[in-house]
């Protein structure tokens, strides 16, 4: 019997390799169940989960809701828009009131880095961080790692490249520790203004030239340019960004290597990634989305105290 070492899933930095292995193995079982005509199991029929989205989402929100339904959990969905947050209610008051209705687990997306960690210091329910500001997006990191493991068999020894807006990316914040813990090498590329200072201290190398970085990698995860997180301009124009850091088919054809392309979504088509790559056989994008359901089922199941 194996269980997670942590009560919450807030950050992959603090997760152990054995936890990641356990989540992947549990997701393997759920992925098999998701191929069956009846995709539902009774595992969490005694659990109520609140999905609290204080920030917009398509993939993560639907994926968590579907994962919860496949596990037979009761779910409630909360959006900040249309709620009493608009009347000035605090995060803690909102969550405490929801928990008073006998909710067992919280899935939360919030625009503030550290919001999930803050909550974990004040409530006893399990929390899954569904993305907090520019900090982490642990289930995205897990589904990215799981999708690469599915394609290559293991992550150990792979060259994993992350392209673009590393500074504002919670996906990079989770992908980097996951890939390093699982034995992959990680490089980042992008305009110097979008690379955090001292990135090397994370165990990651920086290559400013996109073509050289692509020649190095087996897998490239192309990040979205996050205009909503840039209070000042970090690139002169999107046109220039696309010219120097946009990934397109002619660039990939010029590299004598079959690189696997990923993107967490939503895509700015024609900016960081062209449709001739996003929709090609090299792209893992829709497999990432598919795997998100099995990974979130695994995370919910294990945090609820169920064991493998």
Residues that bind ligand CP (CB under 6 A): 57-61, 131, 137, 140, 264-266
Could you list the active site residues? 59-60, 87, 109, 137
| d(C-alpha 111, C-alpha 56), whole Å | 9
Residue closer to ligand CP (CB basis): 266 or 305: 266
166 Cβ partners below 8 Å, 6+ apart?
172, 188, 190, 194, 195, 196, 199, 223
Q: How far is the CB of 292 from ligand CP (least distance, A)?
A: 8
Q: CB-wise, 185 or 293, nearer to ligand CP?
A: 293
Contacts of 267 (CB under 8 A, 6+ apart): 224, 273, 278, 285
User: What φ, ψ does residue 177 adopt, rounded to 5°?
Assistant: -65, -35
Q: At closest approach, how far in Å is the CB of 128 from ligand CP?
A: 13
- The pair phi, psi for residue 123, each rounded to 5°, is -130, 160
Nearest by Cα to 246 from 195, 207, 190 = 190
Q: Rounded CA gap, 294 and 273, in Å? A: 26
Is the Cβ of residue 60 or residue 260 nearer to ligand CP in the bound state? 60
Cα gap 199→201, rounded to integer Å: 5
- 18/58 with CB nearer ligand CP: 58
- φ and ψ of 3, to 5 deg: -135, 160
């Amino acid at each position: 019997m194996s269980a997670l070492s942590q009560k919450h899933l807030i950050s992959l930095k603090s997760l152990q390799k054995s936890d990641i292995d356990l989540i992947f193995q549990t997701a393997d079982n759920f992925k098999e169940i998701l191929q069956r005509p009846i995709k539902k199991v009774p595992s969490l029929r005694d659990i109520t989960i609140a999905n609290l989205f204080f920030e917009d989402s398509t993939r993560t929100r639907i994926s968590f809701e579907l994962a919860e339904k496949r596990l037979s959990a009761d779910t409630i969905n909360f959006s900040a828009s249309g709620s009493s947050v608009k009347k000035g209610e605090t995060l803690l008051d909102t969550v405490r009131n929801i928990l008073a209705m006998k909710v067992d687990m919280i899935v939360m997306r919030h625009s503030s880095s550290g919001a999930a960690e803050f909550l974990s210091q004040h409530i006893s329910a399990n929390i899954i961080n569904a993305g907090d500001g520019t900090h982490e997006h642990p289930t995205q990191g897990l589904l990215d790692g799981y999708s690469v493991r599915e394609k290559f068999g293991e992550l150990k020894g792979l060259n994993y490249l992350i392209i673009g807006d590393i500074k504002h990316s919670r996906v990079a914040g989770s992908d980097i520790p996951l890939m390093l813990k699982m034995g992959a090498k990680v490089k980042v590329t992008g305009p110097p203004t979008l690379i955090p200072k001292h990135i090397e201290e994370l165990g990651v190398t920086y290559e400013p030239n996109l073509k050289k970085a692509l020649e190095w990698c087996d897998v490239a995860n192309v990040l979205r340019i996050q205009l909503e997180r840039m209070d000042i301009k970090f690139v002169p124009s999107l046109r220039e960004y696309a010219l120097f850091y946009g990934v397109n088919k002619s660039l990939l054809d010029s590299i004598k290597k079959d690189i696997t392309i990923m993107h967490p979504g939503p895509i700015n088509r024609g900016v960081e990634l062209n449709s001739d790559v996003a929709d090609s056989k090299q792209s893992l994008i829709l497999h990432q989305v598919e795997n998100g359901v099995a990974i979130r089922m695994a995370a919910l199941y294990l945090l609820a105290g169920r064991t493998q």
